[in-house]
Amino acid sequence: MITVLHNLQIVSDGQISQGKAILISDEKIIDVISVAAIPQDGEKIDLKGAFVAPGLIDLQIYGTGGKLFAGTPVVEALEQMENDMLSQGTVGFFATIGTNSNDIVEQGIESAKAYRDRCRGNFWGLHLEGPYLNPIKKGAHPEKYIKKGTLYEVQRWIEMADGVIKMMTIAPELQDKEVIDYLNDKGVILSSGHSNATYQQGKSFLNNPIKAVTHLYNAMPQMHHREPGYIPAIFEERPYTSVVADGIHVDFAMIRLAKRELGDKLFLITDAVTAANEGTYQHQFTGDRYVMPDGTLSGSCLTMLKAVENCVTHLDITLAEAINMASLYPAQLAGVNKGKVQAGFDADLIVFDDTYTAETTFLAGRSVR
């Protein structure tokens, strides 16, 4: 049976459209038509003028609802994340594990494999942020676990993971070519982060084969007029680049600069954590941010929809383009058939109102809340 979504405003591919209806069948969008052409048969759902956009995608999130997967990587934490993400309109996410002991990383791999067979559909796999980082730019990552990658170890983890490791943040300037080439050949999205790379080093590896950059400006060298550093190389090479748009991790003025330079390669992540009082990452909420016990800024308290709102409110980015940053661009990096409300794309959608409150999420064409 065809599902017809109508009385809505479609936010997709840089535009907002009215007077349209969305036809869904077999988990796909099969057409976007004028209201006058709505067929008589099919299940009609009146969305009462709400915005409908491609579902949001978060490629870096650590935990939600008091269950920090990054610290205690159990199946229950993945289930909590998945349910919370769906309630917020996020139709795909990479559960992230920061720099930690091998035991924690491997427990996370096993939990992800166990959960993927029974997940609701928006858990896509793991993002390992570390441990192959540069200790000079460690941020909240514990230096005792930071190390250089070895071919033996990455082969072991990739084989153990059976495809569940989707993305890794590394400091490319410290890694051997054989390690980088192996991960790239296995289809892992390689992102540069917690890096102290120079301008010249960045020019040598960005897009060749490092396809992405993790949380722009955070944990990387600052620009200087005589020593340009890594950031100008990012602006020139234009890899897919994530940013934490909360105004705390990055000032909004700097995000405006990044948007001018990176255009359709700048995408949103939450980098979100949840409170924890055990394990390596004991995040404490201080009213508007999370910090480590020593006061070091850690993950955010963003949702993807709040990041979209911030782009519109503080950056003068149009709603349609902010949605691209939260859906289309991460979908392109992840290589999934999502990110547009258009025939042929997956029917994974967020419905929200003009106060940026998520009302409904459609996953594979079905309402899940």
Residues serving a catalytic function are 271
Question: Inter-axis angle of helices 102-116 and 75-87, to 10 degrees?
Answer: 60
CA distances from 75 to 13, 116, 129 (A): 35, 10, 19
In three-state secondary structure terms, 227 is coil
Can you list the positions of beta strands (E) in 13-122? 15-17, 20-25, 28-34, 43-54, 56-61, 63-64, 67-68, 90-98
Distance CA 131, CA 144 (A): 10
Distance CA 285, CA 273 (A): 10
> What percentage of the chain's residues is helix, strand, coil (to nearest 5)?
30, 30, 40
Question: Inter-axis angle of helices 151-161 and 177-185, to 10 degrees?
Answer: 20
Residue closest to 209 by CA, chosen among 191, 235, 196: 191
Chain centre distance of CA 85? 12
Classify residue 209 by burial, with Cβ atoms within 10 Å: 0-12, 13-18, 19+: middle
Name the pairing type of β-strands 240-244 and 212-213: parallel
What tokens appear for 11 in the block?
């936010």
